Amino acid sequence: MPIRDILILGNPQLWQSSEAVVDVQSHNTQELIRDLSETLASFRANNGFGRAIAAPQIGAQQRVIYTNVRGGIALINPIISEASEEMFELWDDCFSLPNLMVRVKRHVAITVDYTDEHGAPQQLKLQNDLSELLQHEIDHLDGILATDRAIDKRSFAMRSEIGGVDARCREVIKESLASSI
């Protein structure tokens, strides 16, 4: 059963911290990476959006993220080793918060150190949309949801009210440009 159910807001497992992966090459870890990849592809096919997924979202308390950007990358035991002081605001969304968007602040740029699916150490330097994406996913590994990052009590909106993911992308781009001036 490679395509797994996605846990949604209210499931207490989403607020639990995940364990570091000890053996990247183990059958369990490799199977988890496959399941994440196939679950993400299925979600994207059904919903038209989705760039990354974290293991706790399918009920696995392991520090593994899978993203479909740059041809597909599995990030095992990722940590943010550097983060810009500069922040930006955006409407964040999440498979685990269906139709709910949350206004959050994220670092404009981060460096992520992680282990790849072959067990090799890797590093990514990310900005803007990819930076906020990985901050969101790494939060999942620490049991932190976008709702926990809400800027204030009015930082919540239904997707239909604010135009969904297109509005979100436009806003990110606009703010990224503004911050680079």
User: Would you please indicate which residues are annotated as catalytic (active-site) residues?
Assistant: 137
Q: Minimum Å distance from CB 90 to Zn ion?
A: 13
Which residues, 57 to 96, sit near Zn ion by CB under 5 A?
94
Measured from each CB, the residue nearest to Zn ion is: 94
Nearest CA-CA partner of 65 in 51, 50, 53, 57: 53
Look at residues 48, 46, 66 and name the one whose alpha carbon lies nearest to residue 58: 66
Q: Give CA–CA dist 3/26, Å, rounded.
A: 20
Query: Rounded distance, CA 23 to CA 6, Å?
Result: 24
**Minimum distance between the CB of residue 60 and Zn ion, rounded to whole angstroms?**
14
- Count of residues touching Zn ion (by CB under 5 A): 1
The token duo for 58 is 């399918």
Nearer to Zn ion, 52 or 124 (CB): 52
Rounded to a whole number of angstroms, the minimum distance from the CB of residue 87 to Zn ion is 19
- Residue 40 engages Zn ion in binding (rule: CB under 5 A): no
Binding to Zn ion in span 93-132, by CB under 5 A = 94
The whole-angstrom separation of Cα 30 and Cα 118 is 9
- 149: which 2 tokens? 């990052």
CB of 23 to Zn ion, least distance (A): 26
Residue number, 105 or 179, with CB nearest to Zn ion: 105
Q: Specify whether the CB–CB gap between 58 and 7 falls below 8 A.
A: yes
Binding site for Zn ion (CB under 5 A): 94
